[in-house]
Amino acid sequence: MYRSAHHASDLPAADIVTLDRVVCCYGDWRALIDASVAHARRLYGLVYPNERWWTRVAIAIGNLALRLSGRSFRGYVHPERRIDERIRRAGFRCRNHHRGRIWQTSIYERAPEAR
């Protein structure tokens, strides 16, 4: 079920929160990260595009095709360093990170002092 970051307060907290290829589909990445990380009690996981020139080109081409076909959906490549900083400021530390050609996966754990 689709929910926006603005409806996050309607959802309960969970031990594990994951965003699997969601960040790239949401324009306001700050609101999405803030709302979702606030609901994670222990683990927080993300799968999102690498911030690379070829990813930006691919997303731009896809967005052009979507616009030409009359669709309003758009894809995004957000600043990965700023995403990481925001999650860490919320009390998490990165436990695992894997970078593929297009997608990267990050797993964060709430720091013991932030529990």
pLDDT band at 112 (very low <50, low <70, confident <90, very high): confident
Provide CATH code, domain 13-114: 3.40.50.150
Tell me the domain boundaries of the chain: 13-114
Pairing of strands 40-49, 14-20: parallel
Element (H, E) at 37: helix 29-37
In terms of Cα–Cα distance, which of 12, 66, 65 is closest to 40?
Answer: 12
CA dist 46 and 14 (Å) reads 15
The pLDDT assigned to 115 comes to: 62
Nearest one of 47, 35, 53 to 90, comparing CA atoms: 35
pLDDT score of 1: 37
Query: pTM (2 decimals)?
Result: 0.87
| Averaged pLDDT, 57-70 | 97
pLDDT of 114 reads 66
Q: Exposed (0-12), middle (13-18) or buried (19+): which is 68, by Cβ within 10 Å?
A: exposed
What strand order describes the sheet that includes 103-110?
14-20, 40-49, 103-110, 92-99
Tell me the per-residue pLDDT of 17-44, one tens digit each, with 9 for 90 and over.
999 999 999 999 999 999 999 999 999 9
Query: What pLDDT, on the 0 to 100 scale, is given for residue 110?
Result: 96
Q: Is residue 78 very low, low, confident or very high in pLDDT (cuts 50, 70, 90)? A: very high
